[in-house]
Amino acid sequence: MGQSDGEHEHEGNDLSADDSSWSDGVWSEDDNEESLSFEDSGEGSGSDGESDDAAAAEESDSSEDEVAPRNTVGDVPLEWYKDEEHIGYDIDGRKIRNVIGRGALKPTSGRQMMPRIESSRSVRGLGKGVSGKPYPRLCNARRPRLEPGTFWQRRRKIYDEYNDEEVQITKDEAKIISRLLKGKTPHTNVDPYPDYVDWFEYEDKGHPLSSAPEPKRRFVPSKWEQKKAVKLVRAIRNGWIKFDKPKEERNLYLLWGDETDTADNKRHGLSYIPPPKPKLPGHEESYNPSIEYIPSQEEIDSYQLMYEEDRLKFIPKRFESLRSVPAYEKALREGFDRCLDLYLCPRTRKKRINIDPESLKPKLPSKKDLRPYPKTCYLEFKGHTSPVKSISVEITGQWLASGSCDGTIRVWEVETGRCLKVWNVGGDVRHIAWNPSPDRPILAAVVGHDLLLINAEVGSEEMQMRVKDLLKIDEMAPQDDTDKKPAVRWMKHEKLDGITLIHQKAVSNVEWHYKGDYFTTVVPTGDTRAVLLHQLTKKHSHHPFRKLPGLPVAATFHPSQKMFFVATKKFVQVYDLQKAQLVKKLESGLREISSISIHPGGDNVIVGSKDGKLCWFDTDLSTRPYKTLKGFGLQVPS
């Protein structure tokens, strides 16, 4: 510290020497620039004042604080005045002349009258730029000669923008500034850390601050400390506290020593479900798979379009050599996923069927075993010009009746294919049914809206006669005494020598009772008169059901018992005709029943639906279908 102080002092001496040298010889020097500056600045009161004050300046080393501010125009850029004649007024009201460029506001003290020496090239350049002329010299004609000290002097010049002047800072001031910048005290002789002086010391003085006697507890050992110590000692003695680190021993031993004892070797508790083993890698996972395993760029791009679940988890890649294979970046992730699978996934045992899917199909008898069955077309009954809607075979099997859209009913001989008879009924024949009684060759046909009963004109003469009798009808005899409009009117069909049963709505279906006396018609849109029963001998008809659970689709008689089946859209209702009550309700589970058929034995019912399914009921077993066959694709019309 002392040494540095010394240095400072030394510098200080140097400074003073410099100053003296300045004052002595340097100022007397002249040179070109100075003369130039004289020319530039021209004459004026300023120069006079300067010379006046020069002596005073030499004496006083005081700071500028004592000098009144020379700027009278205020805090505006002096640049604004560069084209003006003068810059404000001085205290006496005289104009302060504007010298071109800077330095118009001349310092009054001698310090400020020091010659201008540009601190740096840049400043000079700036000055030139502004004024457009060489830098003006406003000071007196003296200029310091360049000598060792001048560099520092140049460095210590600061331009005061407000007063438009350069301020020369002394070496001491510069030192103070640098110390302040470093965060030290401004003056070197200040000691920031003086030794602490305890002003309140009393020990040597013989007089304590408190005169109370020292308490006893300061002299006796603490009881609580002792207790604590005893506790610790006891803990250490008993081995509750141990200081040495426990030894790390790997106690591996023969865990599965004796494998013979089977009772002990069983896992207790619930059955263990081993986790499925991770999938073994295929060819595509190889670092160098065959080329065909590597997807093309287009395929890889197409993966991007897929849903994230569908995307491949692993895209095969090919490396030319083993050394170019990088570390697999998802190794940890995949290990972690496996861990999650192991402890988070619910496990169940599942039977994986590894069988040929064909073995799932039921074994069907081969077609060869089912032979003989018709394979080739034997006969073609040709004659109808429009689609045939319905056919019916006579009970003896000799005759076949067919109804078609071309408005004709034809009767064929089955064996020869000869068309026996053609009736032109003038309307679509939608359904046709042969009377099942062998001695009543009568055809019931749904023609347009109505039902037509005609004599088929087959069989012996006697039979023909009887049928003719049957089909004779009295004109409108019982019609009047019915209360309302009857459901059906029995009318004689003049042309075909048959009977027409005129219904109110369109008839869809006709079925005979097995004895051949009764028959039923179904009028789907007929509300309460949807299902009608007719008796041929009495020429009488009635509607047995006041109410039906849905639209009836078809109705038929039991082939041997007095039962009646009505198929609505979803169910098949079985009625006992004698007791006139519901016996059974078959639930088909189909959406839209379209037809019904009964096995001659009477126990098995087959129901077809419009959605292409077929239900087979065994009425003895249950009301649910014994079997449902699917997949016909088309509807089962009848």
Work out how close the CB of 372 gets to other proteins at its nearest, in angstroms, rounded to a whole number: 18
By the rule CB under 8 A, 259 interacts with other proteins: yes
Residue of 239, 281, 374, 637 that binds other proteins (CB under 8 A)? 281
CB of 630 to other proteins, least distance (A): 5
Beta strands in 504-557 (DSSP E): 509-512, 518-522, 531-535, 540-542, 552-557
Sequence-distant (6+) residues with CB within 8 A of 540 are 534
The residue written with tokens 């069927």 in the block is 353
Residues 535, 530: Cα–Cα separation, whole Å:
16
x/- mask, other proteins, residues 504-543, rule CB under 8 A, reads: ----------------------------------------
Rule CB under 8 A: is residue 277 a binding residue for other proteins?
A: yes
379 binds other proteins (CB under 8 A): no
- Which 211-250 residues touch other proteins, going by CB under 8 A? 241-243, 245-246, 250
In the complex, minimum distance from the CB of residue 367 to other proteins, in angstroms, rounded to a whole number: 8
Q: Is 278 in the site for other proteins (CB under 8 A)?
A: yes
Q: 289 to 328, contacts with other proteins by CB under 8 A?
A: 289-294, 296, 314, 316-317, 319-323, 325-328
Of the candidates 347, 468, 515, 624, which one interacts with other proteins according to CB under 8 A? 347
Q: Which of 4, 122, 211, 251 binds other proteins (CB under 8 A)?
A: 251
Q: In what order do the strands lie in the sheet with 419-424?
A: 388-393, 399-404, 408-413, 419-424
**Residue 361 within binding range of other proteins, rule CB under 8 A:** yes
Under the binding rule (CB under 8 A), the answer on residue 1 touching other proteins is no
3-state SS string for 139-206: CCCCCCCCCCCHHHHHHCEEEECCCCEEEECCHHHHHHHHHHHHCCCCCCCCCCCCCCCCCCCCHHHC
Residue 76 touching other proteins (CB under 8 A): no
- 634: contact with other proteins by CB under 8 A: no
Nearer to other proteins, 91 or 252 (CB): 252
Give the C-alpha separation, 223 to 240, whole Å: 23
Q: What sign results for the dihedral spanned by CA atoms 336, 340, 343, 346?
A: negative
> CA–CA separation, 241 vs 439, rounded Å?
120
By the rule CB under 8 A, 273 interacts with other proteins: yes
Of 278 and 600, nearer to other proteins (C-beta) is 278
Scanning 76-84, 142-150, 177-185, 283-291 for contacts with other proteins by CB under 8 A, the matching segment is 283-291
* Virtual torsion, Cα 68, 73, 77, 78, nearest 10 deg: -80
Supply the minimum distance, in Å, between the C-beta of residue 239 and other proteins.
11
Asked if 452 and 499 count as a contact pair (C-beta separation under 8 A), the reply is yes
Q: Which residue among 76, 197, 212, 364 contacts other proteins (CB under 8 A)?
A: 364
Q: Any contact of residue 152 with other proteins (CB under 8 A)?
A: no
Residue bearing tokens 């040709």: 382
Question: Is 374 a binder of other proteins (CB under 8 A)?
Answer: no
CB-based contact 582:545 (threshold 8 Å): no
| 209/355 with CB nearer other proteins | 355
Whichever of 159 and 319 has its CB closer to other proteins, that residue is 319
Would you state the structure tokens that stand for residue 395, as one six-digit string?
């009970």
Choose which of 66, 201, 264, 298 interacts with other proteins (CB under 8 A). Answer: 264
Q: Rounded to the nearest whole angstrom, what is the least distance from the CB of residue 564 to other proteins in the complex?
A: 30
Kindly state whether residue 360 participates in binding other proteins, applying the rule CB under 8 A.
yes
**Rounded to the nearest whole angstrom, what is the least distance from the CB of residue 600 to other proteins in the complex?**
24
**Of 91, 181, 209, 252, which lies in the binding site for other proteins, with binding defined by CB under 8 A?**
252
Q: What sign for the dihedral angle of Cα 452, 458, 462, 463?
A: negative
Asked whether position 17 contacts other proteins by CB under 8 A, the answer is: no
State the sign of the Cα–Cα–Cα–Cα dihedral 441, 446, 452, 457: negative
Q: How far apart are CA 305 and CA 309, in angstroms?
A: 11
Q: How far apart are CA 596 and CA 607, in angstroms?
A: 5
For residue 271, the minimal CB distance to other proteins (Å) is 10
CA–CA–CA angle 14, 16, 20 (5° rounding) = 115
Give the nearer residue to other proteins in terms of CB position, either 323 or 485.
323
Residue type, 223: K
Site residues (CB under 8 A) for other proteins, limited to 326-345: 326-336, 338-340, 342-345
> For residues 12 and 276, which CB has a smaller minimum distance to other proteins in the complex?
276
For other proteins, the closer of residues 298 and 481 by Cβ is 298
Q: How far apart are CA 280 and CA 388, in angstroms?
A: 64
